Structure 1
């Protein structure tokens, strides 16, 4: 897969050009429809203001479930996720004895889902979605009987409507004030999170209620709890002070390789596809490299999206249970008042590391699906000047993503290690889903 590129003023042309010519129905199989809409969603993530990492993870989960259900409905090998995911009831059924075109069904379902999930993107993004929808529909429907096209479109719309209706009750459908609730009351005491940015909105933490959202595969956001962080202390002989000193000294003595790792996994909102999008991009690159078929592709992408969404719910649940101070606050208070982290400290509590939790969940799922020693290259941000990195396994990548936050100066080691553990626990619920008959 080509690296995901950021959208420009010529977004529609730039995005569509990346797909190459799709001249006839045979040149627009469902596999290409799937890739096209996923690339669009990842690109839109970079240019939709409310698409912080938790919000992006939610969108990718619903996109994955839509794709999976659209394909499973016409497959003798895949098993629906209805009755397995929390609150997902049985979806619409195909008419017995009638002919459907799989590319048209999938295209219509994904088009409706992406339009809905990214409804609040800008005018350029809407033009890009409209252009892609028109292009793919014309090519997928070319040469088909009119009744097959109409029936397939109606069914794809019905699948999307069913998933989108389900999405409305999860607690994350409406994001007000960019996710920073002005009514939030900070917890008093030196151990707790305080704002680290001068931005007015970020005087409040991002999405403090996200951990109470309805989960997908795991029972609730509190299902994979973590041990409490180290006891807060300002004593230089304490474990807490020691871990802060490690973050301080690590950032101050970074090697070029460590600095590159921190940048590679930064995945800042509005500057990237976000952390869950990074792992989704990894999955897409592997699907493209190994020419993985449609059924397995939607299984991979659906499970990845579900695991990432559950990871952000579980992580956010723990973050606001413990509400721990960020390294930059503690270090400036007790070690070096002029210290700067390499990466921008995100506006929410420290423990556990979101990068670690979601990377642990992704690695758990991908290892289950593709194997322990599955080597791959990751070129997610090559278009932004970041060189591709090679990994011997998914856990090698997850561990690097986790430690990158220590290099960046925005996490303590305990948050990284325990976040990876939490991700492993969360990912296990996604692995347990039955997707094959």
Structure 2
């Protein structure tokens, strides 16, 4: 089976699995009138604001917070009493979603408790008082407690994420701390953490990167040398803008695309909760898998290869952007992009109406997108033109992210069973 047909088959399988989950419990239909603002969209915004204001210093820890809150919401919105009519069902699900995310966030980001309590009151004030609302609140808090308990000690707290790593002796191709800070390795502990759905961090470990004497290695290193240098004369203004645009946190940069997908969703409250939960569960597991491949292969960064390697060494070569403190292969930005593309494509389709995106690392720049793949393609180019990754590391990252996303969607049945 060729890759195009294989991807189509996997997407169909993943979509069917999630649709089957949704069918297991009665939920509001896509044609249900929406006379109140979307609770899912409101609490998406509240989650984003909470993490922006009081989140952890490590990206995967914040991804974990998203995943816990919205997994609890997805489970709680599926526990609707069978005898509820459409109106009661909606009131129950809205209260359950708000309660689940609220309890998760107040537990994980207690500094925002006052704002979160106010957001919950605002949501509940819009829902008619009665047994449906009360039972929904109770269900949301119950599922949040269970999910939080199930993730205790999972190794995704900041200290565990940045567990100490002993740098190997210098050798051709082997990662070493990079200038200008020569900082200790980061994110090593991700590969030791407990995934949500992967059997283990190494389940989709990538094969070894291209050999140092291979044509692919020489070609890609030459590309970074030419286009990724701080003083490159080959890099165009558009390429520099792309490098700057995608230089920041992937979690931050993908908050708006996921919000766009959620806002445009015609699904029920439960289906909207599932979309956000699947996205962030996939991204937690992707970051764990990324760290495993990075530290299994320990491929040096372009700045080290260009300054000290055997191919025309240039001790003064400097990348456009400072190199992050972990190995080259694969690119974490690319794995994030690949997983995000995989989930959004499977659950919302490959294209969407045009939407605008800005970036905190490219002030004043606004870009417009119509397909999730466009974001992935730009991430690949951006890391090369930043001078911090080889193209083979970026392309392998997209592949790894998509594989983890496929796994998440295929095994989603384990995820949404209410406890």
TM-score normalised by L of structure 2? 0.78
Listed one character per residue, the Cα deviations across residues 152-209 of structure 1 (whole Å, up to 9, x for unaligned) are 433322111001001114222x3228x444x43111123222222555xx73211212
CA distance in 1, matches of 2:129, 2:179: 58
Partner in structure 2 of residue 396 of structure 1: 374
Among candidates 45, 58, 81, match of residue 39 of structure 1? 45
CA distance in 1, matches of 2:255, 2:175: 30
Among candidates 157, 163, 171, match of residue 155 of structure 2? 171
Partner in structure 2 of residue 56 of structure 1: 62
1:206 maps to 2:186: yes
1:101 maps to 2:99: no
Q: How much has 1:379 moved relative to structure 2? A: 1.8
Change over 3 Å in CA distance of 1:336–1:410 after alignment to 2: same
Among candidates 241, 251, 260, match of residue 260 of structure 1? 241
Q: How much has 1:149 moved relative to structure 2? A: 5.3
Partner in structure 1 of residue 211 of structure 2: 231
1:192 maps to 2:170: no
What 5-or-longer segments of structure 2 have no aligned partner? 1-33, 83-87
CA distance in 2, matches of 1:192, 1:383: 30
Q: How much has 1:309 moved relative to structure 2? A: 1.1
CA distance in 2, matches of 1:102, 1:387: 39
Change over 3 Å in CA distance of 1:384–1:67 after alignment to 2: farther
1:324 maps to 2:308: no
* Residue aligned with 2:355, SS: strand
Among candidates 175, 197, 217, match of residue 217 of structure 1? 197
Change over 3 Å in CA distance of 1:366–1:148 after alignment to 2: closer
Partner in structure 1 of residue 383 of structure 2: 405
Among candidates 406, 414, 418, match of residue 396 of structure 2? 418
What 5-or-longer segments of structure 1 have no aligned partner? 1-25, 77-96, 120-125, 268-273
Among candidates 207, 220, 238, match of residue 243 of structure 1? 220
Change over 3 Å in CA distance of 1:44–1:323 after alignment to 2: farther
Change over 3 Å in CA distance of 1:28–1:159 after alignment to 2: farther
Q: How much has 1:332 moved relative to structure 2? A: 2.5
Partner in structure 2 of residue 302 of structure 1: 277
Higher helix share: 2
Contact 2:282 2:339 in 1 (8 A): yes
CA distance in 1, matches of 2:147, 2:212: 44
TM-score normalised by L of structure 1? 0.75
* Residue aligned with 1:227, SS: coil
Contact 1:353 1:411 in 2 (8 A): yes
CA distance in 1, matches of 2:136, 2:60: 33
Count of paired positions = 369
Contact 1:100 1:151 in 2 (8 A): no
* Residue aligned with 1:101, SS: helix
Q: 1:424-435 to 2 correspondence within 5 Å?
A: 424-434=402-412
Change over 3 Å in CA distance of 1:239–1:150 after alignment to 2: closer
Q: How much has 1:221 moved relative to structure 2? A: 1.4
Change over 3 Å in CA distance of 1:329–1:50 after alignment to 2: farther
* Residue aligned with 2:339, SS: helix
CA distance in 2, matches of 1:404, 1:108: 39
CA distance in 1, matches of 2:302, 2:81: 50
CA distance in 1, matches of 2:90, 2:296: 52
Contact 1:107 1:137 in 2 (8 A): no
Partner in structure 2 of residue 74 of structure 1: 80
Q: How much has 1:247 moved relative to structure 2? A: 0.4
Contact 1:57 1:312 in 2 (8 A): no
Partner in structure 1 of residue 357 of structure 2: 379
Change over 3 Å in CA distance of 1:355–1:382 after alignment to 2: closer
Listed one character per residue, the Cα deviations across residues 305-357 of structure 1 (whole Å, up to 9, x for unaligned) are 11111111111110010111111222233533222222231111110011111
Q: How much has 1:46 moved relative to structure 2? A: 3.8
Partner in structure 2 of residue 161 of structure 1: 145
CA distance in 1, matches of 2:187, 2:378: 26
CA distance in 1, matches of 2:123, 2:337: 37
Partner in structure 1 of residue 29 of structure 2: none
Partner in structure 2 of residue 79 of structure 1: none
